[in-house]
Amino acid sequence: MPFSYVIEHMEEDENTPKSLPRWVELEYMHMRTLAGHGATVHFTHLSESSSSTLTSLFGEDANPSHASAYAHRKPVLELMKEKGVPLEKVCLLDPKAEKELGPEDGDGRFEWFLFGGILGDEPPRDRTSELRALGFPGRHLGPVQMTTDTALGVTKIVVQDKTPLSKIPYIDFPTITFNAKESVEMPFRYIAHGQEPILPPSMRDHLKEDLDKSFDF
């Protein structure tokens, strides 16, 4: 059974002229691919500009193999009330949770899986603490920091595909090489496809552009 995944946006971007950084757009769009057909991804607690940007991006992607996606100004607690989802049916993916996420967590005990976006800080900041304080049951995904889209993808593999965390192939801290002189190390854990990390489409190009800008004086 496909699940709903909720990203509670933790960035304060109300006053920024452009709603979301490009890398955030790429990760958030990638979540639809990773969640897959039949699933739903809700992005909550967004500024007006962020909500408008994501809604437009979602409208441009009509791929039926991707999850449905919705952008909301309201926070997750309001969305839960609106949808009639009780607190105990929402699992918070929390690095500090005592229990590891397991295939049994997809047996019906949870309907939603909640992430504190943006997870991909280096060094990690405990953004999830604000959600933890609300009393959600929690699970962790292991000891290594993941990007938000990777965390969602791993959760889907565990609870829907019934693959334990220990059986998922990972690449930790991969180096993305552009040419003989240019590369960048990513300080996160990724799902592996062969010998390569699974990145959002166009992320390599974005990283290369960022790298080029850093040398553009």
Gap between the Cα atoms of 68 and 40, Å rounded: 5
pLDDT averaged per 10 residues in sequence order, the chain, 217 residues: 90 57 91 97 93 93 93 96 98 96 98 80 62 94 95 98 98 92 93 96 87 64
| pLDDT of res. 180 | 86
Structure tokens at 161: 């595909």
Whole-prediction pTM value?
0.90
| pLDDT of res. 106 | 98
Gap between the Cα atoms of 36 and 155, Å rounded: 12
Report yes or no: 211 and 178 within 8 Å, Cβ to Cβ: yes
CATH class as words, domain 4-163: alpha beta
Gap between the Cα atoms of 141 and 144, Å rounded: 8
Supply the DSSP symbol for 108.
Answer: T
Question: What are 182-199's pLDDT values in tens digits?
Answer: 899 999 999 999 999 999
